[in-house]
Amino acid sequence: MLKIRGLCKTYRGSKVKAVDDLDLDVRAGEIFGFLGPNGAGKTTTIKAVVGLLKPDSGEILVDGVSVWDRPIEAKRRIGFVPDTPELYERLTGREYLSFIADIFEVPQEERDARALELLEMFDLKDALLDLIQSYSHGMKQKLAVAAALLHRPALMILDEPMTGLDPKSSHLFKETMRRHCDSGGSVFFSTHVLEVAERLCDRIGIINRGRLCAVGTMDELRRQATESSNLEGIFLELTRE
Amino acid sequence: MSSSFWPVLRAMLNTSFGLSALRWRYLRRRQRLWEVPLVIWGMGTLAVMFGYGAYRVLLTVAKVGAALGQPEMALGLATTMAQALVLLLSFFMVVSAFYFARDLRILVPLPVRPGDVITAKFLTVLVGEYVTVLFIYLPAVFAYSRVVPFGPLKWIAALMVFLVLPIPPLAITSLVAIVFMRTINRRQRDILFYVGSFAFLALILTWQFAVARAPTANLDEYLRELISSRLGLLRVVARRFPPAYWATLAVHSWPSLEGAGGMLATVGLGLGSVALIGAAGDRLFYRGLIGGEEVSRGRSLAAGRRRGIAGTEATTLGAPRSPLAALFWREWMLILRTPVWVMNNLAPLFFMPLFMFVVMVAQQGGLRQVLDALAASPNGYTYLGLGIAGYLSFLGGVGGLAATSVSREGARLWISRVAPQPAVRQVLAKLAMAVSAVLASAIPALLVVAAVVRPPLLHMLGGTVAGVAGTIAVTCIGLRMDVARPMLRWQDPREPVKTNLNALMSIGLFLIAVIGGGLIARLMMLYGHHGLAVYASLTGVGALASWVTFRNLWNTAEAGFARLEI
């Protein structure tokens, strides 16, 4: 579903490679957790995948479509939720979802039913006519996820989706990701919450200083580590300076 | 003022004017250094053009005043104008900085007195207002120095007056804003905000109208006093706005006792105003702020039912639009619902006809003479048509709608970037929005001109078509600039429209367009060409410029958007 080959990115004015020759695959129907310490290159990788950053070199394919050669087709296959829910605060939830449905060209016969399903799932129905600026952080995050799922993307990409969420919302997000994968989609998300990654992900990738230092299922990661068997220990061991 | 005031002020100045970001980019990283000479050149050219134009006008006023025994006339006029402009233009800046800035989320929880926060914000807005004042006051001081002996002491007095000049009018708008935002009911906050703001501006316009208008009764006595008595004009101003009178005396009569009194009153009023803002801030600021931050959940469905969007309909998304229409709608919605953008980008377009109307009403007798002269002059209506063309181009530049269009998206640009819509379509929606706003605002002005002046249709149409061609070119270049170098990192919605160099350069573009068009028109008229030929030539040049700039925008949009890393 997502194939990254030889991805390199150095920010202008910096000599350090934020992402250095990264290869990664996310398969259809799997939840892939992307872990790494602060500044390791997680968000840079995610931004390159969704088209927010232009990589220096490398190739990114979403469902076989190149993100930089055929960006429009690639973007149609992606649903993205950024780390901070920066939405149009002066639109209502309804107007925002309507706008997203329009620009993703969700067919008329599908949009209302899909919106209703998502609004009920995320308990946003009662707030739909309020301005987004009156929403709590969690509500904005849920609206961002609902908007990302509105066009039934093949690949969901979420950057630190659990940040600032209460246990109920966090549980809802995990269920949503699993449900998305069960219906044939894939999820690629970054997180600092190792317990979530350990319990939820089919496979995990660990990035440090821009390079992928480990990738695989929990069992495969345990085999790669020499000292630890839980994810926290493996993470600390593999990202040790 | 507590010890925490200075760090707050320093941080605020730093973030508002991007000082650290500029230092980091140009001095430490040494990126985009080519921009520095370009910006200095652009701003320098604009400053010289505006400044020199103002100086020439004020020098004439100063010479006329000197001949009437009132050499302070230009200085008094500039002082009044500068303070009136600050009074008129600063209200929305103040409201935006005080109540809508994102740094409030950081500042409110800090152990800092609300009075210190509001004073620091007041001083930050004040720095911006110095630019407005500088372009009027400095040329006036130069003009004044040509008609009176002007030594170093006078220069020092002028500098001191300049530093306190914008404080009293800014303090008035700030106090109105603080009381206003504390008072308005939060349920209808947005509507009341617009109604109250327009009422305040109408009040200011009425006051200016009252200042400008001569009394119809005892007109002879009024004129005799105005012309023959010492400080005649100044005393007339003093009746309506004493701070301008004191500020003029502080320079004109310096270092006499009268001048010292003026200086004491001016500086005292300035410092007193700052203290008053601090005190009002302590009592009212956070209450008004917190009232606006309160969340009103659970009423939306009830409100929806009242509007007839009930039950399951409240959970539908409405009729679908085409992507281009959705993008166009988004541009309009976001600007209309952000008061500071409305007042910065849209209001100037719509105020202009209103202002013209007020001037016309105020100058009824003079207007009739002008209209008669226009009709009698062989090229009178051609000049009117050219005025219409210039006015439309002016609207394209002055609002800065296109030149701040990408900047206004700020941190939300990710939504546009991940949308499966080509950049050219997104740019087209922004362009359509800017042009539609200009045209919508031009219609009332054109109707006023058609009704009052009644020019031949040829001149109305000729000027309008040439102006539309010009405004499209100016809009395209403005948008191209903002795609190339948008200001995306901002804390306060005021920043992308107020401290954005693209908006300033957009005004510069208008000046270039008008000077170029004016030269073409003047040359053609000197060689005896008919007005129709002049309009046709200007339309041709404007259409060519529009086509070239539009093609450039179209061809560079994809690459330009791809370069925007957020």
Q: What is the pLDDT of residues A84-111, one digit of tens each?
A: 889 998 898 999 999 999 999 999 888 9
Residue B478, sorted as left (phi over 0), alpha (psi -120 to 50) or beta, turns out to be alpha
Q: Give whole-number Cα distances, A204 to A188, B30, B402, in Å.
A: 10, 39, 45
Q: Is residue A146 part of a domain?
A: yes
Say if the Cβ atoms of A53 and B565 lie within 8 Å.
yes
**CA gap B187, B73 in Å, rounded:** 49
Kindly give the interhelix angle for B35-67 and B501-526, rounded to the nearest 10 degrees. Answer: 60
Q: What is the CA radius of gyration of chain A?
A: 18
Q: Is residue A91 part of a domain?
A: yes
Closest CA to B334 of A116, A203, A131: A131
Q: Is residue A26 part of a domain?
A: no
Q: Is residue A130 part of a domain?
A: yes
Residues B306-320 have pLDDT tens digits of 555 555 556 678 888
Separation in Å, CA of A241 to nearest CA in chain B: 27
Nearest-Cα residue of chain A relative to residue B565: A53
Q: Where are the alpha helices (DSSP H) in chain A?
A: 42-50, 71-76, 93-103, 108-121, 137-149, 167-182, 194-200, 218-224, 231-238
Q: Give whole-number Cα distances, B493 to B116, B285, B294, in Å.
A: 22, 19, 20
Give first-to-last CA distance, chain A, whole Å.
32
Residue B292 has pLDDT above 60, yes or no: no
Q: Is residue A48 part of a domain?
A: no
pLDDT of residue B238: 61
- Are the beta carbons of B155 and B41 closer than 8 angstroms? no
Residue B219 has pLDDT above 60, yes or no: no
Q: Is B420 on the interface with A (CB under 8 A)?
A: yes
Cβ neighbours of B325 in A, within 8 Å? 102
Say if the Cβ atoms of B297 and A90 lie within 8 Å.
no
Nearest-Cα residue of chain B relative to residue A72: B420
Residues B342-385 have pLDDT tens digits of 877 777 777 666 666 665 555 555 566 666 777 777 778 888 88
Q: Which domain does A116 fall in, by range?
A: 84-152
* Mean pLDDT score, B473-491: 88
Residue B229 φ/ψ, nearest 5 degrees: -80, 155
Separation in Å, CA of B454 to nearest CA in chain A: 43
Q: Is B308 on the interface with A (CB under 8 A)?
A: no
Q: Is residue A145 part of a domain?
A: yes
Residue the block writes with tokens 């209502």: A92
Q: Is B419 on the interface with A (CB under 8 A)?
A: yes
- DSSP run (H or E) holding A31: strand A31-35
Q: Is B311 on the interface with A (CB under 8 A)?
A: no
Mean pLDDT of chain A: 88
Task: Say what the alpha-carbon torsion angle B305, B310, B314, B316 is, to the nearest 10 degrees.
Answer: -150
* Mean pLDDT score, B200-214: 65
Closest CA to B73 of B219, B207, B232: B232
Residue B133 has pLDDT above 70, yes or no: yes
**CA gap B182, B195 in Å, rounded:** 15
Lowest mean pLDDT among A43-47, B80-84, B123-127: B80-84
Mean pLDDT of chain B: 80
* Mean pLDDT score, A120-138: 87
Residue B8 has pLDDT above 70, yes or no: yes
Say if the Cβ atoms of A90 and B333 lie within 8 Å.
yes
* Mean pLDDT score, A139-149: 92
Question: How many residues can be counted in chain B?
Answer: 566
- Are the beta carbons of B281 and B119 closer than 8 angstroms? yes
pLDDT of residue B236: 67
Residue B295 has pLDDT above 50, yes or no: no
Q: Tell me the pLDDT band of B229, cut-offs 50, 70 and 90.
A: low
Who wins on pLDDT, A238 or B58? B58
Residue B184 has pLDDT above 90, yes or no: no
Residue B252 has pLDDT above 90, yes or no: no
**Number of domains chain A is built from:** 1
Say if the Cβ atoms of B298 and A80 lie within 8 Å.
no
Q: Give whole-number Cα distances, A117 to A128, B280, B465, B494, in Å.
A: 13, 50, 51, 38
* Mean pLDDT score, A53-64: 92
**CA gap A62, B559 in Å, rounded:** 21
* Mean pLDDT score, B495-517: 79
Separation in Å, CA of B326 to nearest CA in chain A: 6
Q: Is residue A15 part of a domain?
A: no
Residues B436-451 have pLDDT tens digits of 998 888 888 888 788 8
Q: Is residue A112 part of a domain?
A: yes
- Are the beta carbons of A218 and A198 closer than 8 angstroms? yes
Who wins on pLDDT, A12 or B233? A12
Closest CA to A67 of A56, A80, A54: A54
- Are the beta carbons of A161 and A143 closer than 8 angstroms? no
Cβ-nearest to B300 among A73, A95, A127: A127
Q: Which letter, b or e, does each residue of B318-338 get, where b requires 16 or more Cβ atoms within 10 Å of its Cβ?
A: eebbebbebbbbbbebbbebb
**CA gap B128, B86 in Å, rounded:** 10
Closest CA to B381 of B450, B432, B321, B312: B450
- Tell me if residue A211 falls in helix, strand or coil: strand
